[in-house]
Amino acid sequence: MEMTFRWYGEDDPVTLENIRQIPTMRGIISAIYDVPVGEVWPVERIQKLKDTIEASGLRLSGIESVPVHEDIKMGKPSRDQLIENYKQTLRNLGECGIDMVCYNFMPVFDWTRTDLAYELPDGSNALIFDEEVAKKMDPVNGELSLPGWDSSYTKEEMADIMAEYSKIDDEMLWDNLEYFIKEIIPVAEEAGIKMAIHPDDPPYSIFGLPRIITGKDAVERFLDLYDSPNNGVTLCVGSYASDPKNNTIEILRYALERNRVNFVHARNILLKEGKSFEESAHPSEYGSIDMYEVIKALSDYDWEGPIRPDHGRMIWGETGRPGYGLYDRALGATYLSGLWEALQKDKK
């Protein structure tokens, strides 16, 4: 298991120097954030990012993410050129020695939360999703907005894209995903890159949009689209657990048995009424996920891939990018590493 940390580049208030000082930290998960979606990432930019990270004593362990253009998700005629661009980006990443890429196939919104700084009983604050608040939000009229919404869309553009997605059901989105996967995975195999699709977050339909990477059946169907170790998943335990119907440990062990877990996001959530949830501290006692069982599953399969402590609370007065402060994620990393060490020593 390789402990990693997400870094948002030179503008991130959490510096590589900060990250390097976290015990057991080995790698960085990052991306090039200023190349427009759908365009090719230049080799020079990728190499510069890698060199910067390696100069700090860490490894560029993976990319999160290379975004998938909405035209690909909607199956528009323009998708073929966009997919060719995506393939070239994968080739360029492979040329620079990058071996893992996380991505998602969520329409319009990468993730959905209703409060970025909800105060928890201990005085820290965290991301939460309140089902009732979300039901009152309208992405077209813009009367309310969600953190994480793509602010690059004008009101008119948002109305247009939502209207287009109203004609696309789950099966059509599956068809478009299959088309994409069958095009890119052969290139990923040649480039030596393990692709890792992230689940929908949360894993159910919101605002009438189709969402398909939602649970165990979806993982099985997805892996069957193209049977290759390079076609794998990001096992985000917090995302899958956001749907009370999901057995997250079962999903994890299923994907491990198939050798298709290419990346792990480890964060805990506390399920509330209905489909509402709060993001919590990482240890099991604070949330609804048994984090010991998560790490035990990885240990049982001698898993060697990258894992990162996903999302943290803001604690000790820290401010910054919601969910991506230094302190709580650092605590999460050392907690996860402690579980791993104990489990590894129990094997001997």
Return d(Cα 291, Cα 238) in angstroms, integer: 10
Strand partners, 63: 30, 101
Return d(Cα 101, Cα 189) in angstroms, integer: 12
Assign 240 to helix, strand or coil.
helix
> 193 near 230, Cβ under 8 Å?
yes
In this structure, which long-range contacts are made by residues 160-164, counting pairs with CB atoms below 8 Å and at least 24 apart in sequence? 161/70, 161/108, 162/108, 162/207, 162/208, 162/209, 164/74
List the alpha helices (DSSP H) in the chain.
16-20, 43-55, 70-74, 79-95, 131-135, 155-165, 170-191, 216-225, 237-241, 248-257, 291-300, 327-347
In this structure, which long-range contacts are made by residues 68-73, counting pairs with CB atoms below 8 Å and at least 24 apart in sequence? 68/37, 68/103, 68/104, 68/105, 68/180, 69/37, 69/38, 70/107, 70/108, 70/161, 71/38, 72/176, 72/180, 73/105, 73/107, 73/173, 73/176, 73/177
| Token pair belonging to 169 | 């059901």
Question: Which pairing describes strands 59-64 and 100-103: parallel, antiparallel, or unpaired?
Answer: parallel
Return d(Cα 106, Cα 120) in angstroms, integer: 29
First to last CA, the chain: 17
Return d(Cα 30, Cα 21) in angstroms, integer: 18
Distance from the Cα of residue 287 to its chain's centroid = 19
> 328 near 124, Cβ under 8 Å?
yes
Active site residues: 198, 236, 265, 310-311, 324
Cis amide leading into 242 (omega within 30): no
